[in-house]
Amino acid sequence: MKTKSNYSNKKILVLGLAKSGFAVAKLLKKMGSDVTVVDSNPLENNVEAQELIDDGFKVITGSNDASLIDDSFDYMVKNPGIVYENDLVQQAEKLNIPVITEPEIAYSYSDATMVAVTGTNGKTTVTTLIQLMLKHSPEFKNSYYAGNIGIPISDVIQKATKDDVIVTELSSFQLQGTIDLHPHVAVLNNIYSTHLDFHKTRENYIKAKMHITKNQTENDYFVVNWNTEEWRNLAKQSKAQILPFSDNQELDHGAFVKDDIIYCNGEKIMNTDEIKIPGEHNVQNALAAISVAKLYDVKNEDIIEVLSSFCGVKHRIQYVDTFGGHKFYNDSKATNVEATIVALSAFKTPITLIAGGLDRGNGFDELIPSLKGKVNNLIVYGETADKVIESAEKAAVGNIVKVNNLTEAVPEAYKQSDAGDVILLSPAAASWDQFHTFEERGDQFIEEVETLKGEVK
């Protein structure tokens, strides 16, 4: 167990529960911390809060009042999604109390090797692929995945030993609250403009992302998408050894594609058409995963086995079902325009697109080139519906229908589309106008597809 970050006998306020807050509170208590938990949700129906109270924690619910923290606290561990403008967070900063996130605590607890993955899009796919590949590595007894993928690092870190590896998906929200986090291998999959409602500027967003490599040394590795000049320049900020990957240029070292063949450090690995999940973006995701796998001596046949059998991450261009000649795909994790552009590019057949969600103030004109000639029907709902319609009309999408919610959207998409079409949920927006999470949104889509299937038979 690491000793450089010792939270025992420290007074710590955990702000916000959900999965990560609940898990880190438990871990901190195990580490010997004096923990107070604050959650804005009322105690009624707050299962996590009730369980912590039963376990002897001090828990305050239904409030975020700034008076709940004073200078007797040593740290605040903030739920990643809580904005820094929150009154309690502001008060902590005024009192010079460090505001950190769950990965920082979890990292301090274990000597397991950490591989960390970030990026605007593809994080979950890359994290999963790396974990599946590293199961075949001769260097590790066990491999786990955790983090923004939906599994708190604080849970997984307690069962991992120094002989294991934890592949962690880290969002910009999580990374902004890190101080000593130091992965041995860090992956930057890509960076686009998103979450600017939280970070305010693209510069701040990038700065948060780059926390993933800020503590790395020349003994570590930084795997970077080499497709753009911006991302290549970001690599210069790292002290780690740079491992580039690219699907648009041949590289002297690293992973790249040439004539539809994937190479890594000059060695042929596999053909791109052997990758089961569709889309050019998944070739990039594969390159990132291969770059890490080859660091740990994973054999080519094991890499090929993973990439030729992996069907995709749930909620990320996830195949759901086919009936009536229509194929249904769940891409609820597309919470920004760039992710939806990626999803649209994955299909060659006509698309009926279901889109819309939380209005973060951005427009949707970036979608226009991807909508043109590819999306035959558009079904929109949510706060952004009218904005999406405005951009779709500029793209000359022939058939646009506005509905109230996802329950109405699925049968309407089926009604408006033709046999042979793909019906794709790819919202290009966050879910929080009508759902708690993108997972909840995706699960409802799957349920609505199942309901529709029973009705049309």
Tokens of 21: 């807050």
CB 320 within 8 A of CB 328: yes
Strand order in the sheet with 99-100: 58-61, 34-39, 11-15, 75-78, 99-100
The pTM is what?
Answer: 0.81
Matching residue, tokens 């000059």:
266
pLDDT at 457: 67
For the chain, list the domains and their CATH numbers: 11-100 (3.40.50.720), 103-309 (3.40.1190.10), 318-456 (3.90.190.20)
On the CB side of 452, CA atoms within 13 Å amount to 25
CA 130/CA 306 separation, integer angstroms: 9
Ligand-binding site membership of 217 (annotated): no
Ligand-binding site membership of 123 (annotated): yes
With a cut of 50, list the residues of the chain below it in pLDDT.
Answer: 1, 3-4
Ligand-binding site membership of 442 (annotated): no
Distance of CA 81 to the CA centre of its chain: 13
Ligand-binding site membership of 120 (annotated): yes
Question: Facing residues of 375 across strands?
Answer: 351
Question: Facing residues of 217 across strands?
Answer: none
Ligand-binding site membership of 124 (annotated): yes
pLDDT at 2: 53
Tokens of 216: 């790395």
pLDDT at 13: 98
Distance of CA 323 to the CA centre of its chain: 30
Ligand-binding site membership of 3 (annotated): no
Ligand-binding site membership of 125 (annotated): yes
Question: Facing residues of 165 across strands?
Answer: 113, 143
pLDDT at 193: 73
Q: Which of 37, 38, 19, 18 is nearest to 28 (CA)?
A: 37
Q: What is the pLDDT of residues 289-332, one digit of tens each?
A: 999 999 999 999 999 999 999 988 889 888 899 999 999 999 99
pLDDT at 418: 94
